[in-house]
Amino acid sequence: MARREVSRKTLLTVTAVFIAAVAGLTLALKGSTGLQWIVSGLTVGSIYALVAMGFSVIYSSTRVINFAQGEFSMLGGMLMYSIYMRAGLPLPLAFLVSVLIVTLIGAGLERATIHPLRNQSVISVIIVTIGLAIFIRATAKLIWGSEPVKVASFTGDKPLRFLGASIVPQSFWVFGLTLLAFVLVFLFFDRTLLGKGMRAAAANPDAASLMGISSSTSSLVAWTMAAALGAAAGIVIAPINFAYYYAGTMLGLKGFTAAILGGLGSASGAVVGGLLLGVLETIVAGVFPSGYKSAVAFVILILVLLIRPEGLLGRSEGVKV
């Protein structure tokens, strides 16, 4: 155990030094342009972190990878477009209604498709989540069509200048929501009886069952939370990127990579992995042709699975915050 802890601390130190060196070199060589890359990377990385937290919450409670997580984000953005831009509801109400609808969809899908498979193999459930992603994507295309749609920024589009870099106001909404989501997830799993029960069920399902902790309830709550996190991510990123029916596919893959990088099952790992992935992607896209940007996530995913499958902050069980 001590040797593993030393190895973990060494890895974190090396990672921190590497990131600091990359950021420092970028700023030294590119100046304000490099700072712009880092700011943009932190914005995108925050969205990856929100999606990654959804992956981690479900995995920690059910040991299942939900490959429909990205589609929850897509639904959040598309619903925000319909409710905020088309129906004209006030921003706060449109946000809450959009998140609520996606949350109810997530809970309904868990009861309809995941709950009946609670005694089946994990692989069977994962395959079902892939089918759910395809179903949600096809339904979204049928409802909203294949053309991208634009959601207006929450507080205007005039960028703020900071040391030569431009920061759009929507980025602060992204940062704030990511911080709020992390704090709420921490408080839920560390301060509430239900959250502690879900952690216990993840650590030892049989013992938790004897103590009256329902794995069925844990699964439902986890899917509900994941759907809400995904919807919120899709809503706040919609004013920066166009919302469209296929957006969830890439968001899901990037969020999954961030969760693996930080440590699947670790909320803090999801944040670290998301920010790290976002910054590296943006820097690579600035230095090399933009086509290499998407390859960054998959290269990182392969390397982490080969070298350290538990990720930077991950552990084998429970939700770590």
pLDDT score, position 154: 87
Q: Can you give the residue ranges of every domain in the chain? A: 2-307
Distances (CA, A) of 86 to 75, 90, 144, 155, 197: 15, 11, 12, 18, 42
Residue 214 has which token pair? 């329902």
What number of helices (H) and strands (E) belong to the chain? 12, 2
The residues near 41 (Cβ < 8 Å, ≥ 6 apart) are 275, 278, 279, 280, 281, 282, 283
Q: What is the dihedral of CA 174, 176, 180, 181, to 10 degrees?
A: 10
Query: Over the stretch 27-50, which tens digit does the pLDDT of each residue have?
Result: 776 777 778 888 888 999 999 999
pLDDT score, position 319: 43
3-state secondary structure of 89: coil
pLDDT score, position 194: 81
C-alpha–C-alpha distance, residues 188 and 197, integer Å = 11
Which CATH code for domain 2-307?
1.10.3470
Phi, psi at residue 162, to the nearest 5°? -145, 110
Distance, first Cα to last Cα, the chain: 20
pLDDT-flagged residues of the chain (< 50) = 1-3, 5-6, 316-321
Q: Computed over its alpha carbons, how large is the radius of gyration of the chain?
A: 19
pLDDT score, position 133: 95
pLDDT score, position 81: 94
